[in-house]
A and B are shown apart, each in its own frame.
Chain A
Amino acid sequence: MLALEVENLTKKFGDFTAVDDISFKVEHGSIFAFLGPNGAGKSTTIKMLTTVLMPTSGKISLNGHDVMKDSNEVRKNFGIVFQDPSLDDDLTAYENMEIHAVLYHIPTNEMKKRIEQLLGFVELWDRKNDLVKTFSGGMKRRLEIARGLLHHPKVLFLDEPTVGLDPQTRNHIWKYIVQMNKDEGTTIFLTTHYMDEADKVANVIAVIDHGKIIAQGTSKELQEKTKTASLEEAFIELTGHEIRHEEAAPNQRMRMMRRMRR
C-alpha cells in the first residue's frame, strides 16, 4: 500500500489554475520533498492532501483512504506542521500542546511525558506557562514543530517547517525527524526552500512549478538530468531565474477579485 497516491489532481480558483493535473506516488516510510518556487502550488496541494481544501478534480488516497470521501478516517492517519501560524496566541505553550494531545486522543499519562519531552527538545520547557503571544517568531515556529510531532502519525506533512530558524535549530529538528522516519517508519512529506535540507533528508524529490510537476527523482537524478553539480543549481535550472512574487494564497487572491467585481 502506498502512503500517498495522487491522480490528476487539479485545483482552480476562478480562471486561475493553482494545481494543474498533477499525479505522483509516495512510498511508505520514505521522505518525499516537494519543491517549488513561491506560488508554484505547494501549499494548495498540501491543503488538498490534508482534507481542508476540496480539489476541483482528481483523486487522492492517503494510506488507502480516499481523502475526499473518507476525510474523517484520513485525518487519523496524518499530522501536519503548517506553513503559516496555527497556534492560539492567547494560550500558553503547554495549553497549545495539551489541546493537540486531546484532539489526537493521546492518553493523559502518555501526554504529559511527551509534552515535556518535546518542549524540552525544542528548548521551550521553561517557557511552557508563558502565553504564546509573548514568543518570538522562531519560538512559535519551534512550538508548532513540537506540536506536530506530539502524536506519531503514519504520514507527516511539513510545509516549510524550518522557515526563520537558525541553522543549529534546523539541524537539530531534521535529525529528530529523520530518526522518527527510521524508528517508526513515518512517511514524511515536506516542502522547503532550503535545498540543502531537501538534499540531505529526502529520498525522492518532486519539483513543481506553475501548478505542474516538472521533474521527479532522487537529488542525484535531478542533477544528472539538468547536468548540474548541486540540487540548488538543478532547481534553478528547472524553474528558471525569474524571481517569483510572494503572493497572497490563491483563495485570498480570488476573494480580492470577487470583491473588486462587486
Chain B
Amino acid sequence: MAQPPMHAAAASAISGAAAMGTKMLTGGRLLAGLTDADVQIATTPKELVWQQDKVSLFHYQPLAEKRIGIPVLICYGLIGRWTMTDLQDDRSLVRNLLNLGIDLYVVDWGNPSRADRYLKLDDYITGYLDGCVAEIARRAAVEKVNLLGVCEGGVFTTAFAALFPKRVNTLTLTITPIDFHADMVDSREGHGFINLWTRSLEPEDIDRMIDANGNLPGEFMGAVFNQMTPMRSMMKYNWDMLEVVDDQKRLLNWLRMEKWIADRPDHPGEAAKQWLKDLYQQNKLIKNEWELDGEVVDLGHITMPVLNVFAQDDHIIPPATSRALAGKVGSSDYRELGLPGGHVGVFVGGKSQKLFAPGVAAFLSEHDGS
C-alpha cells in the first residue's frame, strides 16, 4: 500500500525522537540492573602491610615473575586518590607494571578529617612517606627503593629524594608540578587555571579560608577543577551521559571515572596552606627555598636517575611546569617521557597505556642492579 508523502523535516524529527527513546529505554535497562558492586575501581589484589594513624601501605600481589628486584612505591597526593592508577582492569598502570614483573607498593593517605587540620606536608613527607619507605626497604632487604610520584605525590617524592638521596634508587615523576609559575611561560588556552586562580588570591585569603573551614574541602578543589572545563562540567550528567547510556561497556567506564572523581578527600589545613602558598603562590620548590622540618629541599641533592613523565595535553599541570625540573637536579641521568593525553587521560587513555608502563619498566630495569 502506498504511504502518504511525509515532509522530510518531520520524518527526521520523528526518527530522531524514536532513536532517542530507544536509547533511553536501553539506558534505563542498563542503569536499573547496575549495583555498586558493578562499578568497582582499584580491584587489583593487594595486602595491607603497614599502617600509621590514617595512612596505609599496601603491597600488590605479583601477576608475573619478578623481573625488577628493587620495589616501587606509588605515591599519590592528597588531592584525589591513587585509585586513578588502577581504575579498571584494562586501564590500569598498576596492572601493567605488575605484568612487567615489578614489585609494587602503594600508599593511601586515608580520609583526613578536621582532627587532621594541623598536619603539615612535613608530616606526610618526612613522617609517613619516610615510614613507608623504611617498611618497604625492611621487607625487601634493600637500602634503596624506587619512588613513583603522581601529581602532588610527585612533589612529595621529589622532596623526599632531595632530603634522603641515599634511600632512593630511582625517582619517577608523573604529571608533577615543579615550577608552579611556568604556566605563564607556555600559556595555552584553558591550561594552568589553578595556577592563575591561586595567584589571584592573597596569602591571607588562604589563611582565612583554611582557618574558617579547618581543611581545604575536597569538594572545593573539585569545583576548581570543574571550572577548568566549564561546559563539560555543565553537561556531563545529561548530554554526556546520554551519549554512553545505552552501551554497557562505555557506561561502566564512565561510571568508574565518576566514582573516582567523587572520592575527593579533604586536604589537611596546614598542609593545604603550604601547598597553595609556599608552592603555588611563592614557587619555593624550583627556587630551592622550600623547607621541610627545618631543612631546605635542594633539587641539586637529587642525585639518583630521574624519569619525568608528563602529559602533553595536561591542562591541570601544564607540561612546562613539570619539565622545569630539567637542569635543576644533581643527577646526570635525567630523562623525560611525554605521553599523549591529559592529566587523567595519561593513566586511562588507550595510547598512553601502551607507552607508560613499558617506559617506566625499561627505566627501572636499567637501574635495577639486583
A and B: bona fide binding partners: no
